Structures are given as structure tokens and as C-alpha cells.
Chains A and B, each alone.
Chain A
Amino acid sequence: MSARPDTLGETRLWLAQRFSAAVLAICVVIHLGGMIMTVQAGLTAAEIIGRVGGHAGWFAFYVVFVLAAAIHAPIGLRTVLSEMMAIPKHHAGLLALVFGLFQAALGLKAVWGFYRLGGGA
């Protein structure tokens, strides 16, 4: 007997959430570390944009951060919706997908804007 397609799908979603959680853990540490350092150094917004904006490495880092968040959060939201509200799982999945796409779009727009502010692209 092999797993039913929906069971396999659930397992893949669980794996995606765990992998994205591992990525997020690293990203959050780097992001918070960076914020603490800039605050301690007394940098202005313009100075931060000058150092980080337009930098391909930081751009790639924040793209990964946004995508990991956009994968991780909707999977959890789907579970919360299906457990706490009387809606079918596939409807919860659809709502979570829309939320994830919205989250990714907003996040990527912000990252792209920051990159351009610093002179990138």
C-alpha cells in the first residue's frame, strides 16, 4: 500500500513548512542582528539604504526571506482555518494560497523597491 495522493500532499506541505521554518530561523537571526547593529551604530535610514540597498547579496537574502515566509505562514494558516472554522479543507487551502500570494507579492515589492532605492537595477 502506498500513501493516498492527499496524504502525500499533506506530507509534502508539512516538509515545506519545516524546511521554510529552518530558513526563516536563519533569516530572522541575520535580519535582527543587522537591525540591532544599525541601531547601535546610530545609522540613519539614508545611510542604511546607501549601504544595503542596491546590493545584490542583500537583495537575494531578502527575496529568500520573503519567499520562506510566504511558504511557511499560509500552510499554518490553512491548518488554523480548517481546525477553527467549519470550512472544507480545500477552501481553507484556497484562502491560504491567496494569502500566501498576497504576502509574497507585497514582500517582493518592498524588497525590489529597497534594492532600487539603493541604486540597483
Chain B
Amino acid sequence: MSTGSLSVSVWRGSKKGRFADYDVPRRDRQTVLDVVTHIQRYIDPSLSYRFACRVGVCGSCAMTVNGRARWTCRTHVNQVAADGRLRIEPLRSLRVIKDLSVDMTDFFDKWAKAKGAFEPTATRTNDLAAIQPGDFKRRQASAGIECIGCGVCYASCDVVQWNSDYLGPAALNRAWTLINDVRDGGSRERLAAVAGDAGCHACHSQQGCVESCPKHLNPTASIAGLKRAVAWAALKGTL
């Protein structure tokens, strides 16, 4: 059911470009991704944007909506456009390919730099590791494990803007979950990778990532954990 119209400004172009204005029919339970999809399908097929699952799992549809990074598939228009106006831009701190599509290469390369890959210590011939759900380290890992890699925290982080080498909240959060995974054997190298002014020590604990994370994770707490772990390693001479 259509209930009026939305006034939508959408970024068109790459680094240089302009906002284009569209009128989009307003509907019940309409998401921001629905709005973008409407423009692309019914008004201007040349609009570029990215999405896949539409249900908050794949993490590919993040955009800047009315000045704030959000996952658009789970952001209802009612939540962000009470006055019927939407301003949709690509994510900050990432190179714009075209319109609303950004190049995520830097973002995911930094996961690799933070040693975000699991380093197994057992083989398929070993028994399964028995880990109690209530185990302290497991609970710390579980607190950050639901990251979908949408880049919303990265785009919301001021330190990423100031320091382009900074690994960012998502990569550091990933490193922290692995450091707390007792099955992983790469923690020593990982701590060396996440220390320093491109790593956890650059974080100012402003918690922009916490504020914006659509999965309600707390990357700032993960980064604080990394700071403690790195400090102990440095004091013990194992960094």
C-alpha cells in the first residue's frame, strides 16, 4: 500500500559527482534498500549499488543514510526519514567505484593484515575440542563472533579517516575473537600484527563503531582486550 512519497537524494558519480533527486512512493514496512531498488528498477537503471541477501546476513548493502552508516536492508524508512526525506551516499573512508558501490578491498585486506584467518592446531584425526559455552575465553570470543563484515563500523570510525593505515574496528574485532579461540595457534603472530599505531593502539575508544554496529557488537571492547593482551606480551618479552 502506497502512503505518499519520499524525497530522496542519491549520490551519483565516483569521488567527484553530485546528488540526484528522486521521488519514490512511500510504502508500509519499506526499507532504505527497497527505496534504492525502486529507483534502480523504475526510475534510473544506471544507478549502481550492492546487495545480496536482503535479510541482514551478507553485509553487502551498507550505505550512508542521512549522514550515518547503516545496513540498508534492515533499516526501515520510518526509522530514519520521519520527515519524508532521505539522503543516501556511499560509505565513508572507502573508495567509491560508482554511485553507492564502494571498493571493499582495503577493508578486507586489513582483515588479512590483522591475521584474521583461523590457524588450526589440530588435524582431522584429532578429537573435537571440548569447549564449554560458559568458558571465559569462549564467552569473549562469542561476544564478537557475529560480525557480518558490512563495513559500517569502519565507515563510522574517525581514526580510519585520520590514519589510512589503521586496521579498523572490524579487523581488530576479528583478531580478538581468534585470540580467544583456544583451538587457534596463531595468537603470537596476531598480537604482533595488531600492535602499534596502525593497530589497536590507534583506537581512541570513541565508540563510533559500537554506536553504529547493526549487530550490536562492541568492537571497542575487543580492541581494549587486544591492548591488554599486547601490553602483557610486551612486558613478558613475547611480542
Contacts and interface: CB of A to CB of B under 8 A. Distances in A.
Contact of A1 (B189, B199, B201): B189
B162 A11 contact: no
B234 A8 contact: yes
Interface residues of B, number: 19
A10 B231 contact: no
A108 B196 CA distance: 31
Contacts of B195: 3, 7-8, 10-11
A66 to B, nearest CB: 25
Nearest to A15: B231
B235 A15 contact: yes
Contacts of B191: 3
Contact of A10 (B188, B193, B196): B196
Interface string A1-36: 111101110111011001000000000000000000
Interface of A: 1-4, 6-8, 10-12, 14-15, 18, 79, 82-84, 89
10 contacts: A1-B188, A1-B192, A2-B192, A2-B239, A3-B192, A3-B239, A6-B196, A7-B192, A10-B196, A18-B231
Interface of B: 159, 162-163, 188-189, 191-193, 195-197, 199, 201, 227, 230-231, 234-235, 239
